[in-house]
């Protein structure tokens, strides 16, 4: 069950910030907090994860740039999470690498959809504070979920199941809100253009 909890927690958290998850798992392996495949604790893997986390840390807090970053990562996060799931499951007898990859990738896609939709709605308001607060909250959530997955894997599976349902509901609701918000913006621009013409 330890591996299942680790795959579930790291998979869902990867949908928010793949690079931070990779870095935290590598650190946990280096510090001996949990049994992590050696690949994740390699210096080159950790350095690349740290650099990409630093780039995402900045990009994720800038309105509209965060939307572009999320659009690119619609593919990167689930695929990266699937790779992490395969690596984590690879050393386990309880779950196969392919199943670990599928589960982690699907969980990451669920979290990513909620994150990306939340950011689209946040960017209907021009101020940057909401982006910064959301980004910091996501990074904190990633850290807490990875620590939970390492220390309490059974509880992590339950928490992730709740997060999956909540994220799906939030994504659906926020998508409708975002469509209304963007429609209002287009109508205002159209009205302003008509008045000028």
Whose tokens are 């390699």? That residue is 42
Q: What is the pLDDT of residues 17-50, one digit of tens each?
A: 999 999 999 999 999 998 889 999 999 999 999 9
pTM (2 decimals)?
Answer: 0.84
Question: Could you count the other beta carbons within 10 Å of the beta carbon of residue 130?
Answer: 17
Distance CA 68, CA 80 (A): 18
Residue range of the domain that includes 45: 2-196
Angstrom CA distances, 178 to 111, 119, 168, stand at: 17, 9, 15
Residue 93 has pLDDT above 80, yes or no: no
In angstroms, the first-to-last Cα distance of the chain is: 66
Residue 50 CA neighbour count, 13 Å, CB half: 10
CB 107 within 8 A of CB 160: yes
Banded pLDDT at 94 (limits 50, 70, 90):
low
Pairwise pLDDT comparison (37 vs 192), residue with the higher score: 37
Q: What is the pLDDT of residues 41-83, one digit of tens each?
A: 999 999 999 999 999 999 999 888 998 999 999 999 999 999 9
Give the number of domains in the chain: 1
**Count of CB atoms situated within 10 Å of the CB of 107:** 28
Exposed, middle or buried by CB within 10 Å (0-12, 13-18, 19+), for 122? buried
Lowest mean pLDDT: which of 19-28, 97-106, 155-164? 97-106
């Amino acid at each position: 069950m330890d591996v299942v909890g680790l795959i579930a927690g790291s998979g869902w958290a990867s949908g928010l910030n793949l690079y931070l998850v990779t870095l935290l798992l590598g650190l946990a392996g280096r510090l001996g907090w949990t049994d992590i495949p050696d690949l994740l604790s390699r210096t080159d893997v950790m350095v690349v994860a740290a650099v990409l986390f630093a780039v995402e840390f900045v990009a994720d807090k800038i309105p509209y740039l965060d939307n572009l970053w999320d659009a690119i990562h619609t593919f990167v996060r689930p695929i990266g999470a699937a790779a992490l799931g395969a690596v984590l499951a690879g050393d386990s007898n309880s779950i196969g690498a392919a199943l670990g990859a599928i589960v982690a990738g699907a969980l990451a896609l669920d979290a990513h959809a909620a994150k990306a939709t939340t950011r689209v709605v946040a960017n209907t308001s021009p101020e940057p504070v909401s982006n910064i607060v959301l980004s910091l909250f996501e990074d904190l959530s990633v850290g807490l979920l990875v620590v939970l997955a390492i220390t309490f894997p059974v509880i992590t599976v339950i928490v992730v199941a709740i997060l999956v349902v909540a994220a799906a509901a939030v994504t659906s609701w926020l998508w409708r809100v975002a469509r209304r918000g963007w429609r209002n913006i287009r109508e205002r621009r159209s009205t302003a253009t008509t008045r000028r013409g």
